[in-house]
Amino acid sequence: MIVDGLLKAGRNYTLYLRYATRIHHALDGGVFLASYSVGNETRYHAVTQMQAQEARRVFPCFDEPSFKAVFQINVIHPTGTTAISNTDVYSKTALKNSWTKTTFEVTPIMSTYLLALAITDFGYIEDRYRNVTLRVWAMPDALPYCSYALKLMSKALQFYEKYFDIPYPLSKLDLYAIRELRVNAMENWGMITARHRYVLYDQTFSSTTDKAQVDMTLFHEIAHMWFGNLITMTLPSFGRDDTRQLRILNPTIRTDNEVLEGFNIGTYYKGEALVRMVKRVTGEKFFQRTMQHFIKSHMYDNVVSENLTNALTRALEKYDHNNPFDGMAVTDVMQPWTHQKGFPTIMVKTINETTMAIRQASFDGMTKKFIENETWIVPVFYREDFRSSEQKLVWLKDNKTVLLNNVAIINPNFWGYYNVFYDNYDKLKEVLFKDHELLNETARKMLLLQMFRFQRNELLTTEPLELSLYARKESDEGPINVLCNFFQLYDIAIPNNPNLRKYIFHILVPVFERVKIDRSQRDHEQIRKILLLRLCSWEYKNCLDYVLSAFSLLKDECQNELLSSTCNKIAPGIRQAVYSMAVKYGPPDNFDFLFKKYKIEKRLTEQEKIFPGLIGTRLIGTRDCEQFMRIMELVDSDTTDLSSSMFLWSYQAGNHDNHRPCLYAKAEQLLKPWIEAFLHNMKDKKLKSLIFGMINTMYRIPTTEENLKLLDKYDILMKKILPPPFFGITRESRNVAKKDLHSIFGKKELFEKYFENFVKRLENGQIN
């Protein structure tokens, strides 16, 4: 930019720019065009997705969270459509040739990634919370299923206003339901966008899981109206740093790609885990009061993690003279948690019947080695009595060892962000066999998960398998889901082993028989879905009889109706599992019936249950890859719904081993449209991300030794597509997959012997 004269200090200057932008694809962000159908008519609407750095695709700006400004949006759009943005409409003006100009109110000072705009002919339903107008926008067929989300918006605003003690700062809040969005939902200030499945709920046809997804999504996004929008994290400085980026909450950002890496699910999980841990140390009421003061002190501003630790420090000095951080500075406690990769493992050594010694260690799962001189300041929560809800706290610092007396279990509610490794699991095993409900569902789930992870990392051998025998008494989803995932690994590594199947059935069949009940029953929906998918895949006869009978009745009762009608008596929460297993193990016409129903189904929530069911097809005999390619036609890469293609690819690769040879054989054909588009525009980050995600799936998912060898041939294609850094990451993912399997392959004889001995003990009456 060249100016005519010197710019004077302290004076404001206005810069006018003429610019143009392109309409992008939904996966690209910026302004994108999406489509939907009304009868036989295809309609279009324009929507935006600015996070992480896509506002610069729409208009010239300093596109980082720390550069906040106020914005006034003016939109010229076809008359008959509606323009929606972050704020209320200020004015509308009719223009020539059937165009309308809509001007919006000036926004609060805000970051560019929170701007939003839609130009649409969607309808809406409306309500009010205090003086705030609430609306949910959706295509006409979906509007009747938006009422639950509208009521939930009001409840969420009421909850957060009370929690933060700050009124919602805008005069309206819109929720825009869209089928094609590259994220599940986005917290644009005053205009949340979300995929349909996270908005729509029908009491008759939606499952309890569907309802929970809507609950969690809306409460999450509305929380951002305060924490994220009213106050916003500043990106760290652009200096040099050799620290690895994985799950570091304060990474040094150098490039645009590193900004994108900062918006990842690992960061969310670690941030949430650390907040939960700190809240348990300080106490709920104290933490809430600190958060209220913190947000009020930084409203409309940017913050870094040190601002929060400083707020905690000041609050402790003002309100709590009994420092719960054991007299330590909050900054010193939190610094390693936010700046170091990973998390500690608490090593527990039994000294005698009443005494334990605990210390911390840092374990690298890839190298299977402990890392020296990497420590945290760790709040260790523990319970002295399994029947008591009271938890105590002790601090671990540096490499010191602490002795504890009369400890029943460490970190029982998973308040602390760390693993716990016991040198002896006998006490926990005894408790689980006597009364497993003495440990809550979270404790049981995390105990199993951590033990199998320790087995994978060669710290344990058969101990997790022995402890898991208690689970035939389980009725909760969390522990059963963990077991099913690890049992699948064993089944891949030791295929068609009758002793392994007897072990699995010994644990899971009693659970299945308890929760199976009637096909229309909604109780235990999620655990029933898990068990149906797994036990049928392991060809348990009662499971196969159950799903094939249910699907046969479905074909009779819904022959001339949509599957979303009342003719379908299968409980919504298990439909996907029944469809999938009936297609996989039933006659060929099961696939044809479901394929036909998918193509005419009008209800999106039902389509999303049918689609994974279609993918359940087994590619055997003369069918080979034909059915797979028929399904691919449903999400042709020429359409706008590339996200469905990626879902199909990932679901196939992740859930059906027999499909992988087909996927590998067809890889170049299936990826070709995206490869060509990417090579045409190497700067298209989202297209690259799509291809990378699909390819990475092939490397990441555990598979057989035979298919791992096929990946060696697949490498040739990968090198054509990906630059060296990305190719290196895919190979690392493949190494993780190999490690998962080799943790079992490497001790295959040991595990085969264990399952053989298990069957002998079972037959001799040594196991109940």
Catalytic residues: 221
From 138, 134, 168, select the one nearest 150 (Cα to Cα): 134
Question: Is it true that the peptide bond before 361 is cis, omega within 30 degrees of 0?
Answer: no
476 touches 441 (CB < 8 A): yes
CA dihedral in degrees (133, 137, 143, 144; nearest 10)? -30
Give the residue carrying structure tokens 């309100």: 319
From 273, 269, 285, select the one nearest 163 (Cα to Cα): 285
Amino acid at 231: I
Residue 257: both structure tokens together:
């790609």
> How many CA atoms are closer than 13 Å to the CA of 562, on its beta-carbon side?
14
Residue 604: both structure tokens together:
């999106």
Distance CA 580, CA 404 (A): 51
Number of H helices, E strands in the chain: 24, 22
Distance CA 618, CA 580 (A): 10
CA separation, residue 270 to residues 179, 358, 421 (Å):
29, 23, 20
Name, in order, each residue with C-beta under 8 angstroms of 276's C-beta and a sequence gap of 6 or more.
415, 417
Residue 112: both structure tokens together:
């560019």
Distance CA 1, CA 469 (A): 72
Name, in order, each residue with C-beta under 8 angstroms of 563's C-beta and a sequence gap of 6 or more.
554, 575, 597, 601, 606, 610
Residue 492: both structure tokens together:
């891949």
Distance CA 447, CA 488 (A): 18
Q: Where are the alpha helices (DSSP H) in 704-747?
A: 705-721, 724-745
Distance CA 235, CA 226 (A): 18
Q: Give the three-state DSSP class for 682.
A: coil
Amino acid at 240: R
Distance CA 526, CA 511 (A): 13
DSSP for 126-180, written as a single string:
EEEETTEEEEEEE-GGGGGG-HHHHHHHHHHHHHHHHHHT----SSEEEEEEES-
Residue 629: both structure tokens together:
């390619």
